[in-house]
Amino acid sequence: MSAGLKKSVLSSLIGASFGLLLFAPNAAAAEQEGKPHKVDVIAHRGASGYAPENTVAAFDLAYKMKSDYIELDVQMSKDGELVVIHDTTVNRTTDIDSEEPVAVKDLTLAELRKLDAGSYFGPQFTGERIPTFEEVLDRYKGKIGMLIELKEPALYPSIEEKIAAALKERRMDKPKHDQVIVQSFNFNSVRKMHELLPAVPTGVLTSKVTDLTNEKLKDFSGYADYVNANLINVAVDPTLVSRIHALGMNITPWTIRSRHEVPPLIKAGVDGIVTDYPDYVPKKIRR
């Protein structure tokens, strides 16, 4: 081959390579779409499809089912103790004898601990109690990840400081591999947790499409690592996932309660799936 021909061939190869670089991102994205990828399995209030929510029974089952995280809700008792329960009242998930709503914040820890938090789900769970936040941390630290939601933090002054102190006491304020994540619907509370524990990933929860504008997402990216959207109110599609990823954040939509909801989310590229039924997520795509 002559020197001139070699130069011509080399120039053509360089041009072709440059063209590939220009179009590679789109091509890679197209190739990736629809392919199974690894996601985190997050047991919503524990394996709450099979056991009473936010109880040791539900959390233990989630662990046995090899979930990556348990999701739990934290509130505060009348005497300032951190407790794990979803509703701001105890009526739905306990055996309290009252026709009127009874608020979590109006009962002491001792009063809350007397309530049966399992029998409403099934007689085999009779005797399950409302756990304290510290009990959950001590029982599952190092065994399974924890997605901690501050439930209605405006009702509980200083709850952020108390949660931060509990994590620091157990040296969980610098988690490895994001094994502790703190989230809330209250964005000010999320921002405060980020300031208190800058090494702990944080997430914003939303059921509103208006919270997912480019402007809002950019603001979230200043203090949050996750944007976790309600699957019923928000269309979790590849476009939304890409916009969140472009700002360096992840998305774990909630709450999946049927098997057919899983494949579209995997196709969209979500980072995790929050579900009452951890076994609905195929093992081959788990992290």
Positions annotated as catalytic residues are 44, 86
Structure tokens at 126: 């009779």
Smallest CA-to-CA distance from 270 within 66, 41, 43, 39 is with 39
What is the Cα–Cα distance from 279 to 51, expressed in whole angstroms?
14
The Cα 142–Cα 176 span in angstroms is 10
Q: Residue 103: which of 78, 82, 121 has the closest Cα?
A: 78
- Interacting residues of 211 by C-beta distance below 8 A, sequence separation 6+: 204
Q: Cα 244 to the chain's mean position, in Å?
A: 15
Amino acid letter for position 102: V
Q: Tokens in use for 80?
A: 């300032």
Q: Answer positive or negative: Cα dihedral of 263, 264, 267, 271.
A: negative
- Spatial separation of the C-alpha atoms in residues 247 and 219, rounded to whole Å: 10
CA dist 37 and 285 (Å) reads 6
